[in-house]
Amino acid sequence: MKKELHWTSRTGDFCARCTALLCFLIWAAALVQAGRSGHGQALAAGLLLCLPAGWLMFRALSRLKRLGPAKVLTLLTLLCLVCKLAWVLWAVIEPEMDYKTFWDSAQALTTQEVLQGGRYIALFPHIFGYAWFLSLLIGMFGPLSLLAPVTNALLSVCGGLLLFFLVNRRFGFETGCGALVLWTLCPSQTIYNMFVLSEPLYTTLLLGVLALIALFADRWKDWGPVRQAAAGVGTGLLLAAVNFTRPVGAIILIALGLWLALIHADGWRNPPFRRSWLLFCAALVAVYALAGGLGRQYIAARLGEEPSATTGYNILVGLNPDSGGKWNWTDSDALTQANTADRSAQEVQEEMLELAKDRLFSGQVDLLALLPQKLATFLGTDDACTGYAVSVLRHRNELSFLCNAFWYGAIGLSLIALLHVVRTGERSSVQLCILYCIGLTMAQMLVEVAGRYHYSLWIVLAVLAAWGARLLPVPGGKTKE
């Protein structure tokens, strides 16, 4: 296994330690909020069981290793496939609320060149991305009731393999397998697959982006300018696809910029490093911007009107102190009143943004009280999936406990890895995951918040929790640097 380049720099080490410490504090605060909000039993179970569970996982992987890497990876992939498919085939639910919007829009896109009644999508254009993807599948297989859930399960398997690739390159085969096992066993990720939702798609695409960046970080010195530019083009296309389904592309770009500018600041003194990364980033940004512009034009053509480029409504909801930054009828009614036929989607969202500014500067919003509430909603629990599926789940309380305990246990193992980064100044591509976690959390503190929105952070948790378990001082758990 090749190591990623580690430049010796006090500045880079300091920045790496600071980002890890900030992420540690965010997750530690989330655990404190979880304990205060009545999830103490699940919190205790997760934190108490995470260490022996991590030890048992790597003990089992050490024994499986005798079969050979190819057989072990095949076995774990099949296990992931069986787990994900078994759930969606057993737990079948009719699409409701936003999930019905995705499903109905996807079916309409297969028959209508210009979507009728597409104003809601024009207001929230990220809905179009997943609906369009789903419409392609409907065009090939028909509107099968299990089409979306089975696709989500297959996307989860692809995501697990990309996660293995990402972790294996830096931390070794066993740690990569550990991340895949955590991804497979994650109860909330499995439960969410039963819904018609975009999370499995954009998270898999996001993993592809991170994997390509990690590959470039490992191989840039061996590649010529053509391959370096091609890597940037491929990454830009994937990132545009991510943004097409979930508007988090800017967070990845900012994370990459900070990773290069701060954590690898001294690398810019090296001309080959500077030329290679500038070429890669220029190709990435150019393709991302071009693909994003073409995507907006395509959405406008299919909707018959320009999609909004402003997220005023989400900010308005995020600043509502009465709802704790969550969806509420008051702000929903304000959107309905503003959404008249004589206004464009952009004008409606701009009015929502003005209302958000008025709310912020009115003195009604106590940010010191609101932000902890939003953090607790965003990171405090992982059982939102059970609420969406209450109509078909018989043991919701038990499943909620399981989801939360697994979430807290993964955070506990991740804290071990973060402390290791604080101690050593680790500056590999894992820092991109940490920066993404910080960026997404900060963004959610501004806009509408919900527990489901932390779905993609399971990438970060799987990476860090597997690494944290590998760092445990137990037989078969020695660190591989």
Q: List, in order, residues 6 or more apart from 407 with CB less than 8 Å away.
A: 46, 188, 381, 382, 461
Q: Please say if the pLDDT value at position 269 is more than 90.
A: no
Higher pLDDT: 198 or 36? It is 198
Confidence band, pLDDT 50/70/90 cuts, at residue 201: very high
Q: Are 334 and 355 in contact (CB under 8 A)?
A: yes
pLDDT tens, 97-131?
A: 889 999 999 999 999 988 888 889 999 999 999 99
Asked if 303 and 309 touch (Cβ cutoff 8 Å), the reply is no
More confident residue, 135 or 265: 135
pLDDT surpassing 80 at residue 6: no
Q: Is the pLDDT of residue 400 over 60?
A: yes
pLDDT of residue 9: 64
- Per residue in 457-481, pLDDT (tens digit) is 999 999 999 999 998 875 444 444 4
Q: What angle do CA 444, 446, 451 make, to 5 degrees?
A: 30
DSSP for 319-382 reads: T-TTTTTS--HHHHHHHHHH--TTS-HHHHHHHHHHHHHHHHTTT---HHHHHHHHHHHHHS-S
Sign of the four-CA dihedral 227, 296, 142, 114: negative
pLDDT at position 267, please? 80
Does position 4 have pLDDT exceeding 50, yes or no? Answer: no
Q: What confidence score (pLDDT) does residue 313 get?
A: 95
Domain parsing of the chain, residue ranges = 10-470
Q: What is the pLDDT of residues 89-101, one digit of tens each?
A: 998 888 888 899 9
- Statement: the pTM of the whole predicted model exceeds 0.85: yes
Across the range 357-372, mean pLDDT stands at 91
Q: Give the mean model confidence (pLDDT) for residues 422-445.
A: 91
Average pLDDT, the chain: 90
